[in-house]
Amino acid sequence: MLHALLRALRPQRFWKTLLARGCASDGAAGGPEIQVRGLEGPDQGITEILMNRPRARNALGNIFVGELLDALARLREDRQVRVLIFRSGVKGVFCADADLKEREQMSEAEVVVFVQRLRGMMNEIEPGIQTKEGDSRKAVPGLSSPSPHSQHPADPTTFPDGKTNSQDNIAAFPAPTIAAVDGFALGGGLELALACDLRVAASSAVMGLIETTRGLLPGAGGTQRLPRCLGVALAKELIFTDRRLSGTQAQALGLVNHTVDQNEEGNAAYHRARALAQEILPQAPIAVRLGKVAIDRGMEVDIASGMAIEGMCYAQNIPTQDRLEGMAAFREKRPPKFVGE
């Protein structure tokens, strides 16, 4: 466990600048289904992933998932990304579940691979299941065990396109992530939002894990993230009953951080998410990233282990220039200028 923690907390390598801000595809709308945009001016440091598959209401299909994986792989290497916002380019929809029409054409084996790939895109999963202390065996396909301790699984699953589930996922993205839910977020769409650190929703948004009404169960992290977010009994009720929540109801339950009245353009949640990102921008980026690691790792272990993780993260931050800058700015009574080093 100690070695895994050290791997997870080791200093980030110097990241290469993201050269390509878009991913090519033959999407249903004739262009890329995933578009990436880095904001400029006072919003520099905020990057947006725009989901744009209008004919399928941003359903999670093969091309969509492949482009999103490519975008995440590139962005995690970009040192300029301090906050990542997931938003929709399709009015009234965030992400309307998996592409069941596409999945209907798959064989059972192909379904297993695709769902495992989808799960790996959203969550840190490790294919080895611990059966007892010191005994690890290969997981049954589709039953990979999540590990809170390793960002680099020793034996990552490799998919037919050559991609692995080791790091190119939303939950392990190093910078804070925000889901701007301006419409329907159902099934896999809600699971995508749950994989983000923060969620903002329009009051008119509709959210739910609706898989049971289709003869399925949540397969991309919903059965694990929803109870951690809302509690076991409430999560069970929502999944068992196919319950759908409005943005207002979701905030009352703690499923989203903020809710706002929808505007005529249908992007009120995006504007609130952007305002939230602007609050994060001035903070020391290394401290923010290490705080994310400490919280995410610590929530999966007992409090004593969590305290040890916090201590390791704190130790990682001590040698940074940003820590010295923060103390100097406090002493000199001026705003700090953090550079992420």
Q: Give me the active site residues, please.
A: 98, 188, 191, 211
Per-position DSSP letters for 80-92, written without gaps between them: T-SEEEEEESSTT
Q: How far apart are CA 33 and CA 146, in angstroms?
A: 28
Query: Strand 34-38 vs strand 245-246: parallel, antiparallel, or unpaired?
Result: unpaired
Integer-rounded Cα radius of gyration of the chain: 20
Helix (H) or strand (E) holding 192: helix 188-195
Judge contact between 67 and 23, C-beta under 8 A. Answer: yes
Q: What angle do CA 60, 61, 63 make, to 5 degrees?
A: 120
Judge contact between 141 and 116, C-beta under 8 A. Answer: yes
Terminal alpha carbon distance of the chain: 28
Q: How far apart are CA 221 and CA 213, in angstroms?
A: 18
Q: How far apart are CA 166 and CA 152, in angstroms?
A: 6
Spatial neighbors of 213 by CB under 8 A, at least 6 apart, are: 242
Burial label for 284, CB within 10 Å (0-12, 13-18, 19+), is buried
Three-state SS at 97: coil
Tally of CB atoms within 10 A around 33: 26
Q: How far apart are CA 120 and CA 127, in angstroms?
A: 10
Pull the structure tokens for residue 297.
């790792």
